[in-house]
Amino acid sequence: MKTYKKLTLKNGETLTLAFPTMKDLSKIAEYYNKLFNETDNFSWDTSKEYTEQNATYYVNAYSNSGLMAILNGKMVGHANISLMSKDKRTAHRCDLGIGILKEHWGKGIAGKLMNAMFEIAKNLNCEQIELGVFSNNTRAKNLYKSFGFEKTGTKKHYFKLADGKYKDIITMIKFI
């Protein structure tokens, strides 16, 4: 774990935002497995176990642009941002992802992660941040709107779940 910042939450707890390292593989896998049992609001299949091998990919992909939210030594949230392309015509665009364990909702962790992602996006020379959110995920949509994201469209039946039902995605953007 490579500390990015230590911040105080609304309830007085100290939140550590840290870049992931290979020493965090078990912590990352444990977090994602818990998160996947709480929600299906992710773009990948959450029915499969998240392993340390998956966590290795996460560390390699986000060692400088992804943050773990740590409370009392446990990973309770994450956020990551990545350039959508290295092509000079589209290298100004970034993609954002974020998640918080339910037991830690309402503490201000998402807001702390969002602000940190804006800082990291600027370091990546990102001019706009884009994301997709399930149309029924009101809590996340409200968070994004409160940080200045605007709805750009809806993609119908974007995901097909295991039960055969479809979920629409709302696309959003923020210029920084």
Query: Domain residues of the chain, as ranges?
Result: 2-175
Predicted local confidence at residue 49, as pLDDT = 79
CATH number of 2-175: 2.40.420.20, 3.40.630.30, 3.20.20.140, 3.20.20.150? 3.40.630.30
Reference 106, options 132, 69, 80, 143; nearest CA is 143
Q: What is the pTM of this model?
A: 0.92
For each of the chain's 176 residues, which pLDDT tens digit applies?
999 999 999 999 999 999 999 999 999 999 999 998 887 676 666 667 788 888 999 899 999 999 999 999 999 999 999 999 889 999 999 999 999 999 999 999 999 999 999 999 999 999 999 999 999 999 999 999 999 999 999 999 998 887 899 999 999 999 99
> 37 — phi, psi (to 5°)?
-75, -15
Please say whether the beta carbons of 19 and 86 come within 8 A.
Answer: no
